Structure 1
Amino acid sequence: MQNKIIRYVGIFVALFLIVCIRFFEDKLFYDPFLQFFKSDYQNKSLPNFESFKLLLNLFLRYFVNSLLSISIIYLLFQNKMHVKIASSLYFILFVMLIMVFSYLIFGSDKPDYLLLFYLRRFLIQPVLLLLLIPAFYFQKKAE
């Protein structure tokens, strides 16, 4: 019983931290695209940004969200194989997304803003967690 309470508290803390990251994103991370995508961005050019600082902050945010998400997965399922799968997926997805994101902002004269918006959203939000929890749950039920 005590182990279950500790697990639930851990899940709650990790979810709370994810919400805090979202709530304080403008104070915690450098991201000039936050305001850009809140405005009528379709007719504007990309905002000025510091390349290294932007990529570093995207990586940091993705890394922190990934750690919290993997912690939630572990606490929910207590299965090391799920953690390995999730970690691999997070790594592979980051590499793919950051490459496409980088190409759009550095290598394209007029990037597709909608694609850029969703790529960035996937990098800064723990969207994969919402996909992995049901997948691991149904896998567990099938066993």
Structure 2
Amino acid sequence: MLRELIKNKRRLFFIGLALLGLILVRAFEDQLFYDPFLSFFKTDYQNKPLPNLDQFLLFLNLLLRYTLNTFFSLIIIRLLFNEKQLMVFSGYLFLFLFLVLVAIFFGLLHFSNQPDYLILFYIRRFLIQPLFLVLFIPAFYYQQLTR
């Protein structure tokens, strides 16, 4: 698989573009997305109250960012493994994981008087970073090796 990928310069170019897309989403996160937790978690947040936030706007921006990251991640998965079924399966996984994580995230915000900031931090991290791509690529690669 890796030899085939290296031979195909066009696929490598588009993988590079998708990686650039992920980098740009991260680089311009302050300008593109409403997220009061960006600055909150950069400070000594353990003894501070949660920032004031518009939950609906936060949800829409988390959805937008997750969708952009998912789009670029699915392109990378499709180009790396060259299997449409794997990309579709990954899309369903991304959707399921988003629904679970966003429900937990907003559940903690809404129903907890003093939510555990560390749990909020890590759930939010999975929502705003392409961490699932980092988990899926080795898993799919190992799956292909064992077939």
TM-score band, normalised by the shorter chain? Answer: over 0.9
The equivalent residue for 2:97 is 93
Look up the match of 1:28.
32
The alignment status of 1:110 with 2:114, answered yes or no, reads yes
Task: Tell me if 1:45 matches 2:40.
Answer: no
1:15 aligns with 2:27: no
In structure 2, stretches of 5+ residues that fail to align are none
TM-score (norm 1): 0.96
Alpha-carbon distance in 1 for matches of 2:69, 2:143: 23
* Number of residue pairs the alignment of both structures matches: 142
* CA distance, structure 2, for counterparts of residue 63 and residue 140 of structure 1: 26
State the distance in 1 between where 2:68 and 2:20 align: 13
Query: Partner amino acid for 1:31?
Result: D
Q: Distance in 1 between matches of 2:139 and 2:104?
A: 26
Q: Which amino acid aligns with 2:14?
A: G
1:71 maps onto 2:72 in alignment = no
* 1:87 positional shift: 0.7
The Cα of 1:25 is off from its aligned counterpart by 0.4
One-letter amino acid of the counterpart of residue 59, structure 2: L
SS of 1:41 mapped into structure 2:
coil
In the alignment, structure 1 segments of 5+ residues that lack a partner are none
Q: Secondary structure at the match of 1:90?
A: helix
Deviation track 1:37-96 (CA, whole Å, cap 9, x = no partner) reads 000000000000111110000000001100100110000001012112111110110000
Percent identical pairs in the alignment equals 50
Question: What TM-score results when the alignment is normalised by the length of structure 2?
Answer: 0.94
Instruction: Quote the offset at 1:141 in angstroms.
Output: 1.2
Structure 1 consecutive aligned stretches of length 4 or more whose deviation exceeds 4 Å: none
2-side partners of 1:61 and 1:20: how far apart?
11
**How large is the RMSD of aligned CA atoms in angstroms?**
1.2
Q: Which of 125, 128, 134 is the matching residue for 1:124?
A: 128
